[in-house]
Amino acid sequence: MQKTQNITIVMLLMTAAILSSLIVAGWLYTEQPAYGSGVSRAGDYIMASGQYDSDTDFVYVLDIANAKLNLYYPDINTNQLKIGITVDVGAAFRTGPK
């Protein structure tokens, strides 16, 4: 009777140790998502972040002096920000530099 109780206790301790190590490993090696959204203004530029889908983020840069809106996106192959599109805000709203 004592031997089966000892075996049961040892098996339960081993199971607890394995599960605990899996939980710790999962916690240590899981990348936390980066959340950030906001607007930053410095001088003639206004920058804001945006999201296309769950995997693609954008950075919008509004150049007030030249009335242009640039959209930048990360290129994961080159690890750089690429310019996606440029919108002439002055022409779109019939204002801007002459």
Kindly state whether residues 52 and 77 are assigned to the same domain.
yes
Higher pLDDT, 96 or 55: 55
Structure tokens at 43: 């001088």
Overall pTM surpassing 0.85 (yes/no): no
Q: C-alpha dihedral over 49, 38, 63, 59, to 10 degrees?
A: -10
Is 77 contained in some domain?
yes
- Reported confidence tier of residue 18, pLDDT bands at 50, 70, 90: very high
Is 43 contained in some domain?
yes
Indicate the DSSP class of residue 54.
S
Q: What percent of the chain has pLDDT over 90?
A: 18
Kindly state whether residues 88 and 43 are assigned to the same domain.
yes
Spell out the residues 6+ positions from residue 67 whose beta carbon is closer than 8 angstroms to its own: 88, 89, 90, 91, 95, 96, 97
Residue 61 pLDDT greater than 80, yes or no = yes
Kindly state whether residues 24 and 54 are assigned to the same domain.
no
Is 81 contained in some domain?
yes
Higher pLDDT, 62 or 28: 62
Is 68 contained in some domain?
yes
Supply the range of the domain harboring residue 3.
Answer: 1-30
- Number of domains present in the structure of the chain: 2
Least confidently predicted of 37-46, 60-69, 84-93: 37-46
Indicate the DSSP class of residue 68.
E
